[in-house]
């Protein structure tokens, strides 16, 4: 998917590339890192992000095949600019013992089923809840921010074996989570280079 790039954005990316050399990274990894750094003006993400090129390719294939995108917060959903996003937090009342964000994740799974792309940029409890469910996602973008539970939830995501984008630190947030997804939505890879989308939904 292509789009017009505003001159300010082009200049911003030029400044970024002058400050850090990312040419050694594979194309999708580089795209995700650049967009996250661009969204945050934080070069620490160059070392902080954790993702694998094969996982990102599977995510691109799933998105190209029309996989649903589910967000934990409306701010995340608003930042994803090229796809309608499922976000149920506004119309959800928390179940006993769960936060509203965690409850909304559980309800969204009942709506979208397996093979979705899940994007968590706000609530560590939403990511922790997702890991407890039989979600079988195409990709989890797990970048919640916070001093309580964020590092632990992201470490649990990486330990789960699910296809994921995460980071190691307390940093994160709606803008960087949306940026990571936008990088994949706008990825311009030849169709022959993408994995089969029907295999993505079966990723454990």
Spatial contact of 146 and 170, defined as CB atoms under 8 Å apart: yes
Give whole-number Cα distances, 5 to 10, 34, 137, 188, 189, in Å: 7, 14, 31, 14, 18
- In angstroms, rounded to a whole number, what is the distance separating the alpha carbons of residues 173 and 170? 10
- Where is 40: in which H helix or E strand? helix 27-40
Residue 38 among the catalytic residues: yes
Name the β-bridge partners of 165. Answer: 141
Catalytically annotated residue among 6, 13, 24, 38: 38
Angle between helices 27-40 and 53-64 (to 10 degrees): 80
Cα dihedral value 4, 8, 13, 16, nearest 10: -170
What does the longest C-alpha to C-alpha distance in the chain come to? 51
Whole-angstrom CA distances from 61 to 82, 88, 116, 202 are 15, 25, 12, 13
Report the catalytic residues. Answer: 38
């Amino acid at each position: 998917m292509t789009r017009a790039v505003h001159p300010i954005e082009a200049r911003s990316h030029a400044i970024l590339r002058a400050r850090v050399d990312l040419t050694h990274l594979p194309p999708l990894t580089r795209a995700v890192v650049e967009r996250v750094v661009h969204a945050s003006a934080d070069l620490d993400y160059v070392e902080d992000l954790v993702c694998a090129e094969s996982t990102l390719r599977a995510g691109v294939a799933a998105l190209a095949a029309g996989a649903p995108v589910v967000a934990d917060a409306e701010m995340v959903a608003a930042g994803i600019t090229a796809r309608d996003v499922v976000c149920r937090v506004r119309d959800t009342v928390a179940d006993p013992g769960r936060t509203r964000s965690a409850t909304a994740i559980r309800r969204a799974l009942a709506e979208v089923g397996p093979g979705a792309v899940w994007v968590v940029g706000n609530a560590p409890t939403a990511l922790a809840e997702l890991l407890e469910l039989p979600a079988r996602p195409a990709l989890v973008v797990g970048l919640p921010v916070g001093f309580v539970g964020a590092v632990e939830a992201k470490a649990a995501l990486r330990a789960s074996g699910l296809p994921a984008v995460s980071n190691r630190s307390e940093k994160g947030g709606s803008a960087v989570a949306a940026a990571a997804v936008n990088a994949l939505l706008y990825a311009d890879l030849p169709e022959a280079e993408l994995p089969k989308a029907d295999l993505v939904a079966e990723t454990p």
